[in-house]
Amino acid sequence: MATTAAEYVARHEIPVAEVRTDIGRATRPKIVGPDIPEPPFPIALAGPVQKGFGRGGKDLGCPTANLPDDSITPISTVLKTGVYYGYAQVVPPEERRTAFRPEDVKVLPMVMSLGWNPFYKNEKLTAEIHIMHAFQTDFYGHEMKAIILGYIRPELDYISREALIEDIEVDKQVALNCLQRPAYQRYVNEPAFALGGSDPRKPLRFLEEYII
């Protein structure tokens, strides 16, 4: 069984990632995983979006929303490091809702990175979600809900930033392809994503009480 991210944290150890050197030459699968989510998926979670390193948008053209530590802890006990796919929804508070367009608060495809971002040599485990949508306003501090439905690939290191960007773009397309399958599309309509249907006093509530 693969070592979970939490097990590395407990050992105060950062896993050594394989360096990807075949960018531009290797052909990655266009779709991954089974046609129906299998355990431990689906995994649902929620929490307020935190400011991260600011590298996703500026360096990589892939802005990410960082999840708080108390959201990371439960998912890291069942997931290994790597890149995952699923759906996410930004839930602005009532007083901020008019700043968002209707399409901004829909349930949208996402990719999530869980790990230490070896290219940047992070020293702390992070979970970063990239929602595949062009937001026109930031949503730091707002609640985000997510359902993780599948695994794409392990966390890797890269010989250049360009190589990392290339793999990220492939990750996005793989996620979109995977989510086209009917058994995955149905999660867009999960009650957990109902706008305004959650209690903001409970920012982390899903892993144990809401496994579909």
In angstroms, the CA 101 to CA 19 distance is: 40
Task: Tell me whether residue 199 is in a domain.
Answer: no
Average pLDDT for residues 143-156, to the nearest whole number?
A: 94
- Which residue of the set 7, 38, 95, 128 is catalytic? 128
Task: Tell me whether residue 96 is in a domain.
Answer: yes
- Model pLDDT, residue 163: 87
Which one-letter amino acid corresponds to residue 76?
Answer: S
| Residue 110 CA: distances (Å) to CA of 15, 86, 90, 152 | 25, 5, 12, 12
Task: Tell me whether residue 212 is in a domain.
Answer: no
Active site residue 128: yes
Rg of the Cα atoms in the chain:
16
Q: Domains in the chain: how many in total?
A: 1
Cβ burial, residue 74 (10 Å; 0-12/13-18/19+): middle
Q: What is the pLDDT of residues 160-179, one digit of tens each?
A: 888 888 899 999 999 999 99
Task: Tell me whether residue 198 is in a domain.
Answer: no
- Residue 198: pLDDT band (50, 70, 90) is very low
Give the whole-number percent of the chain exceeding pLDDT 70.
84
pTM of the model: 0.88
CATH of the domain at 32: 2.40.30.30
Asked if residue 189 has pLDDT above 80, the reply is yes
- Model pLDDT, residue 145: 92
- Short-list 54, 153, 65, CA closest to 108: 65
Task: Tell me whether residue 201 is in a domain.
Answer: no
Work out the mean pLDDT of the chain and round it to a whole number.
84
Task: Tell me whether residue 208 is in a domain.
Answer: no
Q: Which of 7-16, 57-66, 188-197, 199-208 has the highest mean pLDDT?
A: 7-16
Task: Tell me whether residue 25 is in a domain.
Answer: yes
What residues make up the domain containing 150? 5-193
- Model pLDDT, residue 70: 80
Asked if residue 142 has pLDDT above 70, the reply is yes
Average pLDDT for residues 12-16, to the nearest whole number?
A: 91
Average pLDDT for residues 116-134, to the nearest whole number?
A: 89
Average pLDDT for residues 21-49, to the nearest whole number?
A: 87
Task: Tell me whether residue 203 is in a domain.
Answer: no
Average pLDDT for residues 69-88, to the nearest whole number?
A: 91
